[in-house]
Amino acid sequence: MTRYFEVTDRDCAARIGRLMLDPRIRTPAILRSELLVKHQGSIIDCGCLWDRDGDPERSADPGKLLILPHRSLPPHAPLEIVNRPAQPPSPPSTSPPSAPSAPSAQLSRHDGAVGEVIHPAQADIPDGRDLYVLSAAALFENQARSLVDAVLRLKNNTMPDTAVYAPALATPENLAVLIYLGIDLVDDTACIIRGYQDMYLTREGVRPIDRLREFPCSCAVCTEIGTPEELRSLPRSERARLLADHNIARLSEELRTVRECIRDGHLREYVEKQCRSRPYLTAVLRLLDSEHTYLEERTPTVRKNVLVANTAESQNRVEVTRFAERVLSRFTPPDDGANTLVILPCSAKKPYSLSQSHARFFDALKGYRQQVHEIILTSPLGVVPRELETVYPAAHYDIAVTGEWSLDETAWVATCLRTYLEKHTYKNIIAHVSGGFFDVCKIVEHDLGIEIVYSAATAGSLLSDDSLASLRESVAGIVSSQSRGRSRRSPLATVRAIADYQFGLGVGEQLIPDRARVKSGRSGFRIFADREQIASSTRYGTIAPTLAGAANMPPDIYRVEIDDFLPKGSILAPGVVSADPQIRPMDEVIVEGEMAFGVGRAMMSGREMVESSRGVAVDPRAVKGV
């Protein structure tokens, strides 16, 4: 835990925060290498242990963060050297064995924030630091696997409210990916070095100055010089200085862009676009997605904006894989004898029920919809049961539609459908699909050895009168006429399915009893039991329990235990005693303590609530004393 670093905004592993130093640093931030070298600014680097001329004593100001003396070692240094206690090479006569190590001695003289350099292979990472510096970070350029492994190992073995600094690595083209990885601080060293190498940096990549014919930017440097030819004519030292100034300006501009993406909640979309500038950055994103747990713990369960799926990497993002996993693990088809499955294609309009195409499907199925169960196939989400079509992200995504499916899309959706049908057995399956959806169904039909009835009259004309008539005839031929008069399916099935998806399988029946009633309106629905409201819908299609509803919830899930106080506003992390580790940012949670019982929305993950010393843990919606 730290007294000096507080996170205020999150978007997956990327964070906006503040280091309470003198002067204060708003993260993510770019440190000026000139100030670091001169031991000025908010962060003081004591330098290498072997630098006998350094005077770290002058950094004892409690308003400064002190990076303890360290060794400069390459990433592949021998482990016996990496894990050797840090000791300066002083003669035994002047440094008795009982003397403390250099970092320990320096720490004892500094009453303020402390940082420590951590080697990627270091066995033990010390606790109690406010900043961790990734050693030899500059050497991870073009080393996707090494970069991802080093950052994730450091982040997974340190407290969530400590900052991470990757020195001499950031450029305008890789900054967004670095921050998405979870790095809070970078510096301008790489930009300055590129300037002295006659390299002109943009967010799209590096351009040698001798190949540039006009400046693609209008910063002060480029505007004042005029043309690349004029820049090349300047003396080398002046040219290098001006190029470095331009490179730093572009890095600062990119930082502001990334901050706005974090605040708006669409950094992932920006990273998917930005990583295309270099193959190794694309590899970083793909490797990061493969380490699912790291991002999943830090990714909110709902977002205020539309999920845009424009690239192949989009189907691997947490929101997509989490939805697919929850459909398979937390959803159960209606238990009312509906043993006929109807598979339908997605629509551009969300929720699907509001689209013209699905309105036509409903007309074709009129009189039979209570006897069948409907699922929708879509890329990238896979399988969407009709009951969950309003839940984020099923009703909150957009994707480029060309009519042609890639092999990856087909394989992913087929995997989702195959797994769903392996878990849930239907006596009859009717697929009203064409194109890529048809290919998916044929693959699954072959793999599982089952029979699927295809109701489209001709390929590509699902909405034609003949196809809709064929759909109706296919269903009518399967569903017995005796069951057509069955009573309308209870709306409780839908809200219970949403509750199961949100909180866990079986929670829906506990939260929403049989006597409950659902009242729908323009703004959503409300659920009552014995005239008392127990839950309502949110703008994300999820359920927000009231205090009365929370009392029906299981006692061991989505709970945040707080100290003995009655919250009057936001619940801060220091007041949290324990929290369900499955809690994710934006989850609906139940708050309980000796003096209070409440409901609200999580602002951080359950682990972060427990391990952080600063920041808002829960935004309460209703609290009562007990």
Predicted pLDDT at 337: 61
84 or 350: whose pLDDT is higher?
Answer: 350
Are the beta carbons of 617 and 559 closer than 8 angstroms? Answer: no
Predicted pLDDT at 107: 52
Residue 548 pLDDT greater than 70, yes or no: yes
DSSP for 155-198, written as a single string? HHTS-TTSEEE-TT---TTTHHHHHHHT--EEESHHHHHHHHTT
Predicted pLDDT at 91: 44
Determine the Cα–Cα distance for residues 422 and 510; give it in Å rounded to an integer. 27
- Taking only the tens place, the pLDDT of each residue in 453-476 is 999 876 668 999 999 999 999 999
Q: State the average pLDDT over residues 250-268.
A: 96
Q: Average pLDDT over the chain, rounded to whole?
A: 90
Residue 50 pLDDT greater than 60, yes or no: no
What is the band of 282 on the pLDDT scale with cuts at 50, 70, 90? very high
Percentage of the chain with pLDDT > 70?
Answer: 92
Q: State the average pLDDT over residues 327-334.
A: 94
Residue 319 pLDDT greater than 60, yes or no: yes
Q: State the average pLDDT over residues 507-529.
A: 92
What is the band of 90 on the pLDDT scale with cuts at 50, 70, 90? very low
Residue 1 pLDDT greater than 80, yes or no: no
- Taking only the tens place, the pLDDT of each residue in 420-454 is 999 999 999 999 999 999 999 999 999 999 999 99
Predicted pLDDT at 279: 95
What is the band of 96 on the pLDDT scale with cuts at 50, 70, 90? very low
What is the band of 605 on the pLDDT scale with cuts at 50, 70, 90? very high
Predicted pLDDT at 459: 62
On the CB side of 247, CA atoms within 13 Å amount to 32
Predicted pLDDT at 338: 75
Helix (H), strand (E) counts: the chain: 21, 29
Closest of 337, 275, 276 to residue 480, by C-alpha? 337
The pTM assigned to this predicted structure is 0.91
Domains of the chain: residue spans and CATH: 5-46+109-288 (3.20.20.105), 308-485 (3.40.50.10630), 502-625 (2.30.130.10)
Amino acid making up residue 366: K
Residue 106 pLDDT greater than 60, yes or no: no
Residue 280 pLDDT greater than 50, yes or no: yes
Give the C-alpha distances (Å, rounded to integers) separating 25 from 72, 297, 338, 450, 615.
26, 26, 60, 61, 16
Q: State the average pLDDT over residues 537-561.
A: 95
Predicted pLDDT at 249: 96
Determine the Cα–Cα distance for residues 570 and 352; give it in Å rounded to an integer. 36
What is the band of 340 on the pLDDT scale with cuts at 50, 70, 90? very high
- Taking only the tens place, the pLDDT of each residue in 224-257 is 998 999 999 999 999 999 999 999 999 999 999 9
Determine the Cα–Cα distance for residues 329 and 582; give it in Å rounded to an integer. 14
What is the band of 484 on the pLDDT scale with cuts at 50, 70, 90? low
Residue 370 pLDDT greater than 80, yes or no: yes
Helix H or strand E segment including 431: strand 428-431
